[in-house]
Structure 1
Amino acid sequence: MNYRTQLEAARKGTITKEMQIVANKEGIEAQKLMDKIAAGHIVIPANPLHTSLSPEGIGEGLTTKINVNLGVSGDCADYDNELEKVKLSIDLGAHSIMDLSNYGKTNTFRQLLLQSSPAMVGTVPMYDAIGYLEKDLLDITAKDFLRVIEAHARQGVDFMTIHAGINKRAVECFTNSKRLTNIVSRGGSLIFAWMKMTGNENPFYEYYDEVLDILYEYDVTISLGDALRPGSIHDSTDPGQIAELVELGQLTTRAWDKNVQVMVEGPGHMAMNEIAANMTLQKRICHGAPFYVLGPLVTDIAPGYDHITSAIGGAIAAANGADFLCYVTPAEHLRLPDLADVKEGIIASKIAAHAADIANGIPGAREIDNKMSDARRRIDWEEMFSLALDGKKAREYFESAPPSDRHSCSMCGKMCAMRTTNRILNGEKVELLGEK
């Protein structure tokens, strides 16, 4: 094998087995896929050590992918429960799972995740640094952070969020911005604190070449984290966010120079009227690299319903260039999500992704909608349930208040528009009072 990464292979004109699998899944030519990988516009996060992986492509012209965040915290350290969430996420069709555990020795859980997950696996090494190194934040050295990155890569992680863009220049812009919610990125806030306490440059920025060398060795895709993403609609598209984005654009080309695949992460919280422009701006500044968004959440007043505010923003973002949606659950801003929250978050994110695929004219995206519409015309409930994103819930709703005639539902009964029109077109009479 004369390549280390998917990007290097594509640049050498080699179609890898992962490229062929993705091409078959997406229904596109492998050569076309390879060309877009070579240009940096598509990534296939696929660490060779993740042997249970079913490869997925993320980027230009492909179906929109969704990510599920999970992992333990100091207040909720039940690894068995997190593995249940993993199983649920895979069953519901999540394309990737990010282990955001930030408590204790997480390597055992991560190893179990990698052994069992056909979905891509991502991590944020910054979250694991204190537990892995058994040092408090101020005692961690720049080189220590690199040790954690290498440990995750050796386990088989496919992509990592690295907050390399929050350097001293970006921090100065943030400090002068007078934000309402300051820094809301967990990893970003920890790096900011480390920089301020030590007086040093961001270690992921200062030693970026060494970071890339590690990622290249294991073909780990770098997901350039947006430490200064807006945490409220008040702060969106401010100088801090844009200053970091400019840094991320430069870091993107530096990674490509070392044959490392790149994704770029984006906002955050953002009013609907700003989303399309932000997607265009990111793609331009970051040279068409795949864009990975958290939300965006389009309002700040819906705790308990942020899976909905996120799905609204995610659909708009993906219809305007975002390639990868990070799900948000109803528990966002409130607590660690439980199994029910995870399901609600995944379904909401899948709706947003699919709606965007339709809007973007992705080949085949409308087919299942057309099948559902045909089943509705024929009032074939079993077919409708089989086509639904959550057929179990659809069936439960239907059967919770069953109609007297299964050729309708309990909302419209005999006045069902489908039933009425079908009868007329079949040459039958419509009699509402005396019909049995």
Structure 2
Amino acid sequence: MNISDSEHGRRTPRGCEPKSKSEPQSPSAPVTQMEFARAGRITAAMRAVAEREQRDVEFIRERVADGRIAIPANVVHLAKGLAPVGVGEGLSTKVNVNLGISGDRADAAEEWRKVGIAQDNGADAIMDLSNAGKTQAFRRDLIAKTPLMVGTVPMYDAIGYLEKPLVELTGDDLLRVVRTHAEDGVDFLTIHAGINRRVVETFKQTGRLMNIVSRGGSLLFGWMEVTGAENPFYERFDEVLEICHEFDVTISLGDSCRPGCLYDANDATETAEMIELGKLTRRAWDAGVQVMVEGPGHMAIDEIAATVKMQKRLCHNAPFYVLGPLVCDVGVGYDHITAAIGGAISASAGADFLCYVTPAEHLCLPDADDVLDGLIATRIAAHAADIAKGVPGARDADARMAQARRKLDWEAMWPAALDPATARARFEASPAATEGTCTMCGKMCAVRTVNKVLEGTTIDLDAS
């Protein structure tokens, strides 16, 4: 879907005049999806989201206006073919795939294979976490070629892009990188603005088992400790907002102090940062900038639901974007499973956006197979949560699968599966002797037996 600047809202579509004079009004012409929604004006992006989510467009507009739904849609990417997606309250749970060029494995061709897997297997977003050398060419190509929303972490890119040591970076340098990513068309930027001097002091006073495990958070912590200065993203947050407003970039407020192990979950440091993120959320909304808030991390199962509810309360029901959480620390090599368990619980409790975790987490850069495994595991978690949340249409594919299984109609099963190619390949690799069955049960297939009874045909079971 290619939504032009005019469709994005440069002119008011017929019949989309402001609906309520009591809603907040921008002092100037609307630029962002939030500002159009507050002015009562429905954009093509809002209509696209409403159609996809089987929701009335007014349902979408109202929640975009008050921040409960974000539509990350940079005006540059919209012009290049972005298919707008909504993240937030009452919508299906979205799934993100991380990829990007690493200094140790700088293989652009492999990253493009991962992009193809993401697009072909139901991802909603791609985060380009490239951190080696000049990353702009890959980022620009990605935005030009993918209809999925794209996110980045400017802090990762700053050292390579500016060719400066960490301690020599200035606030001007970091804002320059933010602007570059916005100009390139990035739809959401992870900005680690919550780790300010107050949060750092809490961290030092209370301590943690795993300290700070966020890459962006650790870089900023190191910079602050060496320079003695305040976090530039916090100190100059209003300037960050001006850049994001200009291009309608959604700010994803980074969780610098997310727990890296079960022991650190819900500690003073994480909570202190979450309070700061709630304050920053309000400031962004006051500037007409859309917000998502990032969350944990590692967390025991019995803590997840309460944490989601607390985050939603402290951050004013802004969309919540979580990494897992991983429900144990010992699932190394299988962390796509530990994260999917936590993801299903967190999304069913109200989280809106799941960042996938692959089997390679904590071990190495994931390869293409890892990306597929992580994506499907996370999509299963998101789908299970959508069923629990009563998202419109969430059960439709499950009903189609059940009908196809009842009829032993294998060809009808594949389109209902989250990963049709893998399902078909596994079935065809082990052909059954009895037509219509699989090698698990063969002639003793329960579905086949009951079908034959109900049809009045012979049950052909014997000892052979």
Check if 1:273 corresponds to 2:294. Answer: no
Measure the CA separation in 2 of the matches of 1:430 and 1:175. Answer: 72
Check if 1:26 corresponds to 2:60. Answer: no
Check if 1:138 corresponds to 2:138. Answer: no
Check if 1:253 corresponds to 2:282. Answer: yes
Check if 1:190 corresponds to 2:219. Answer: yes
**From 73, 82, 86, the counterpart of 1:46:** 73
1:332-354 Cα offsets, whole Å, 9 max, x none, are 01111100000001100100010
Please give the secondary structure, in 1, of the residue aligned with 2:399: helix
**From 422, 432, 454, the counterpart of 1:403:** 432
The answer for the alignment partner of 1:100 in structure 2 is: 129
Please give the secondary structure, in 1, of the residue aligned with 2:439: coil
- Structure 1 residue ranges without an equivalent (≥5): none
Please give the secondary structure, in 2, of the residue aligned with 1:88: helix
The answer for the alignment partner of 2:241 in structure 1 is: 212
Measure the CA separation in 2 of the matches of 1:39 and 1:236. Answer: 29
The answer for the alignment partner of 1:347 in structure 2 is: 376
Measure the CA separation in 2 of the matches of 1:4 and 1:16. Answer: 11
**From 347, 360, 369, the counterpart of 2:389:** 360
1:4 maps to amino acid: V
Measure the CA separation in 1 of the matches of 2:187 and 2:322. Answer: 18
1:3 maps to amino acid: P
1:223 maps to amino acid: S
The answer for the alignment partner of 2:147 in structure 1 is: 118
1:234 maps to amino acid: Y
Aligned pairs for 1:148-187 (under 5 A) are 148-187=177-216
Check if 1:203 corresponds to 2:197. Answer: no
Please give the secondary structure, in 2, of the residue aligned with 1:118: coil
**From 293, 299, 307, the counterpart of 2:322:** 293
Measure the CA separation in 2 of the matches of 1:285 and 1:434. Answer: 65
Measure the CA separation in 2 of the matches of 1:406 and 1:352. Answer: 33
The answer for the alignment partner of 2:417 in structure 1 is: 388
Please give the secondary structure, in 2, of the residue aligned with 1:66: strand
Please give the secondary structure, in 2, of the residue aligned with 1:94: coil
2:397 maps to amino acid: I
The answer for the alignment partner of 1:427 in structure 2 is: 456
The answer for the alignment partner of 1:306 in structure 2 is: 335
Please give the secondary structure, in 2, of the residue aligned with 1:49: helix
Please give the secondary structure, in 1, of the residue aligned with 2:75: coil
Cα shift at 1:406: 2.4
Cα shift at 1:408: 1.6
1:116 maps to amino acid: K
Cα shift at 1:395: 1.5
2:97 maps to amino acid: V
The answer for the alignment partner of 1:335 in structure 2 is: 364
Measure the CA separation in 2 of the matches of 1:91 and 1:205. Answer: 38
2:455 maps to amino acid: N
The answer for the alignment partner of 1:86 in structure 2 is: 115
1:56-80 Cα offsets, whole Å, 9 max, x none, are 0000000000000000111011112
1:258-277 Cα offsets, whole Å, 9 max, x none, are 00000000000001000000
Please give the secondary structure, in 2, of the residue aligned with 1:121: strand
Please give the secondary structure, in 1, of the residue aligned with 2:366: coil
Measure the CA separation in 2 of the matches of 1:29 and 1:430. Answer: 50
Measure the CA separation in 1 of the matches of 2:206 and 2:377. Answer: 33
Measure the CA separation in 2 of the matches of 1:401 and 1:66. Answer: 32
Report the number of matched residues.
Answer: 435
- Structure 2 residue ranges without an equivalent (≥5): 1-9, 11-28
1:143-188 Cα offsets, whole Å, 9 max, x none, are 1100000000000000000000000111111122221111000000
Measure the CA separation in 1 of the matches of 2:49 and 2:435. Answer: 41
The answer for the alignment partner of 1:12 in structure 2 is: 39
2:74 maps to amino acid: N
The answer for the alignment partner of 1:36 in structure 2 is: 63
Measure the CA separation in 1 of the matches of 2:450 and 2:430. Answer: 23
1:210 maps to amino acid: E
Measure the CA separation in 1 of the matches of 2:411 and 2:97. Answer: 29
Cα shift at 1:414: 1.1
Measure the CA separation in 1 of the matches of 2:438 and 2:261. Answer: 42
Q: TM-score, length-normalised on structure 1? A: 0.98
Measure the CA separation in 1 of the matches of 2:374 and 2:463. Answer: 46
CA RMSD of aligned residues (A): 0.9
1:7-60 Cα offsets, whole Å, 9 max, x none, are 011111110111111111111111111000001000000001012200000000
Check if 1:224 corresponds to 2:253. Answer: yes
**From 82, 93, 98, the counterpart of 1:69:** 98
Q: TM-score, length-normalised on structure 2? A: 0.93
1:302-346 Cα offsets, whole Å, 9 max, x none, are 111000001000000000000000000011011111000000011
The answer for the alignment partner of 2:273 in structure 1 is: 244
Please give the secondary structure, in 2, of the residue aligned with 1:122: strand
Measure the CA separation in 1 of the matches of 2:181 and 2:463. Answer: 70
Cα shift at 1:434: 7.1
1:368-412 Cα offsets, whole Å, 9 max, x none, are 101101111111111112221111111221122211112221111
Cα shift at 1:426: 1.1
The answer for the alignment partner of 2:89 in structure 1 is: 60
Measure the CA separation in 2 of the matches of 1:434 and 1:383. Answer: 31
2:137 maps to amino acid: T
Measure the CA separation in 1 of the matches of 2:58 and 2:327. Answer: 38
